């Protein structure tokens, strides 16, 4: 990643997209604006963004703010239509296991279109 390019993961302390299901459950989306390369800066951004999502989901205010979380699964999607390095995939696999310990699904997808009902 050169200094002229925007980082592929941005706004580490904010949700990119939140969707509440009427029948229960909340979907959160991490949007990638570029390739998830193997650079330390990119890997740190992925870890920080997903970590912030998981910390927020674990906070009691999350289910008060997004009441559909009380009635269904919380899923975090990393939506990336760009290249994903093996190192980034490995980190996402590790984060998927960490999320599962919180009963949160973490899914790497190319596009969100198939996931909208």
* pLDDT tens sequence across 80-116: 999 999 999 999 999 999 999 999 999 999 988 777 6
- For 105, the domain range is 17-115
CB within 8 A of 65, min separation 6: which ones? none
Percent of the chain with pLDDT over 90: 89
Task: Please state the pTM of the whole predicted model.
Answer: 0.92
Q: Are 21 and 68 in contact (CB under 8 A)?
A: yes
8 located within any domain = no
Furthest CA-CA distance within the chain: 44
CATH of the domain at 106: 3.40.1350
CA distance 42 to 57: 23
The closest of 40, 17, 48 to 88, measured between CA atoms, is: 40
62 located within any domain = yes
12 located within any domain = no
Residue, of 3 and 40, whose pLDDT is higher: 40
């Amino acid at each position: 990643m050169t200094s002229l390019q925007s980082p592929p993961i941005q706004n580490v302390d904010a949700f990119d997209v939140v969707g509440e299901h009427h029948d229960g459950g909340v979907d959160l989306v991490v949007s990638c604006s570029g390739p998830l390369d193997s650079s330390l800066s990119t890997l740190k951004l992925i870890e920080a963004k997903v970590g912030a999502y998981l910390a927020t989901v674990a906070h009691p205010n999350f289910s008060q703010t997004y009441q559909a979380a009380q009635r269904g699964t919380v899923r975090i999607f990393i939506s990336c239509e760009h290249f994903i390095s093996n190192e980034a995939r490995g980190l996402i696999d590790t984060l998927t296991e960490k999320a599962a310990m919180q009963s949160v699904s973490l899914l790497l997808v190319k596009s969100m279109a198939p996931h909208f009902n």
